[in-house]
A and B are shown apart, each in its own frame.
Chain A
Amino acid sequence: MAKAALLEKTTPHGAHAPLLAIRDLQAWYGESHVLHGVAFDVSEGEVVTLLGRNGAGKTTTLKAIMGIMTKRSGSVMFDGRETIELPARRIARLGIGFCPEERGIFSSLSVEENLMLPPQVRPGGLSVEQIFELFPNLRERLSSQGTKLSGGEQQMLAIARILRTGARLLLLDEPTEGLAPVIVQQIGRTIMRLKQEGFTIVLVEQNFRFAASVADRHYVVEQGRVIDTIPNEEIERNINKLHAYLGV
């Protein structure tokens, strides 16, 4: 089956345009061409994952959506607006929240300052009280230095701080990496909660078991392109294909 036809078939065609529509997204690190025409859609309220091996271009795709990769071309439509020419700070203001792979907790800021750092970009974000319901650990650690938290707590803080801002689309880069199973479960429950709250989420994952437990759909990324789309209900049938893609 042709790749384009596959994309056509599995991309949902509702009455509304998707919240995020990416076409022919290319990006470069200096001279090195790393994204070669990424294309996928995410509808409002969906959770999708980008799966793929190390170096396939998943993280780069998130950074290119966010505008952190400044050398990029193609089309990234968010909420009906072309963002490919905008700087990162303007893209964030449209309502996209970014949680980087390295978590990006600031060591010279307290937990509270880290939590309150991202400015509100739209109304309708979670209140601080609601965030403490999701992540009770953070409440007791508010005055600690940000990087004194455990790895799991830092990950929660990195997610928590973009929930306040009113962002509707969350880009989460490997939120489970290096965390204990019990914390991974907690993060999984959190993502399900956020989906119920109406957040739209793009998740980069290496762990497809975790991805399968939270996502509606999976895009397989390889060599800077989306090469396959697997709806979550078909994941068991495609397990061998997935193993081949991920090389596990």
Chain B
Amino acid sequence: MFELLGIPPQALFGQLLLGLINGSFYALLSLGLAVIFGLLNIINFAHGAQYMMGAFVAWMLLNYLGVNYWWALLLVPIAVGLFGIVIERLLISRLYHLDHLYGLLLTFGLALIIQGLFRNQYGISGLPYQIPQQLAGGQNLGFMFLPNYRGWVIVASLVVCLATWFMIEKTKLGAYLRAATENPTLVGAFGINVPRLVTLTYGFGVALAAFAGVLAAPIYSVNPNMGADLIIVVFAVVVIGGMGSILGSIITGFGLGLIEGLTRVFYPEGSAVVIFVIMAIVLLVKPAGLFGRTA
């Protein structure tokens, strides 16, 4: 079949792999956006900037303090997540009684400020981040060559996405979160501290973005615009999956990464727009998104 279409299997699988890699980042980022939107009703436009911060903080830890990739993978989400918690307490929490639009404007402004600060300090040419030596090299699978690090990104993203899904859908803490998403007033009247839950949720969503940033550092160059470039696509992914749907954002993230990869094989000119075309179709046919609950 491949020969019929004139496409060698190496190219096909190569693009599918690339699609899965992109899908890993779409899934991690749209998952964080979905969790934040579900509980806070805020479209976190600073998500791309927080992803970029994840990559930069990993770079800084390595170059200024000699902290290696593996520690960065643990420490950076905590540090950037704490930064998110401060932002939520200081700024976002003042907007909950206002229209959603204000939250969007605030986080969009924050994104511009954060990106501007990093651009000012580090320029836009991009900084290199070495692949950790344990993951250098690759495997010859016969039909294609799989770089170890890329395989690791897919596995790590899948594990973190599924762990997040499990935490939200199957644990007591997740039950609090789902209940507070539906009816925060009643959950508060049961004696649960909803404002603290909201703060922790924002911090967690930001930490997911930072984790994706660390994963991305050795693949994409670390530069201040890396989040802004990606986040537009991620917003489309969130809209397609359905705002606030956890499993929806994971499946849609990986799925759209694959579709994008396939498009690059069969119709390269369309690969940049295919996700937006799908978004337009989904909005026409199922406005709440593929996995969204109609309100």
- For A88-124 the 0/1 string (1 means CB < 8 A from B) is 1111110000101000101111000100111101000
Q: Which of B159-206 contact A (CB under 8 A)?
A: 172, 175-176, 178-179, 181-183, 185-194
Given contacts A93-B191, A119-B190, A119-B191, contact A88 B185 (CB under 8 A): yes
Determine chain B's interface SS by DSSP, over half rule: helix
Complexed CA–CA distance, A67 and B181 (Å): 20
Task: Assess whether B189 is in contact with A67, with CB atoms less than 8 Å apart.
Answer: yes
Complexed CA–CA distance, A109 and B172 (Å): 10
Complexed CA–CA distance, A16 and B55 (Å): 64
Task: Assess whether B179 is in contact with A108, with CB atoms less than 8 Å apart.
Answer: yes
Interface centre among B176, B179, B191 (most CB of A within 10 A): B191
Contacting B189 at CB < 8 Å: which of A98, A106, A107? A98
Interface size class of B (residues with CB under 8 A): 10 to 19
Interface centre among A92, A100, A108 (most CB of B within 10 A): A108
Complexed CA–CA distance, A118 and B175 (Å): 10
State whether the Cβ of A4 lies closer than 8 Å to any Cβ in chain B: no
Determine chain A's interface SS by DSSP, over half rule: loop
Contacting A66 at CB < 8 Å: which of B181, B189, B194? B189
Complexed CA–CA distance, A100 and B176 (Å): 18
| Nearest CB of chain B from residue A87's CB, rounded to whole Å | 7
Contacting B188 at CB < 8 Å: which of A89, A100, A117? A89
Task: Assess whether A100 is in contact with B182, with CB atoms less than 8 Å apart.
Answer: no
Given contacts A88-B185, A116-B172, contact A108 B178 (CB under 8 A): yes
- Residue pairs across A and B with Cβ atoms less than 8 A apart, 23 shown, are A66-B189, A67-B189, A68-B185, A68-B189, A87-B188, A88-B188, A89-B193, A91-B189, A92-B188, A98-B186, A98-B189, A104-B183, A104-B186, A107-B182, A108-B178, A108-B181, A109-B178, A109-B179, A113-B179, A117-B179, A117-B187, A118-B190, A119-B190
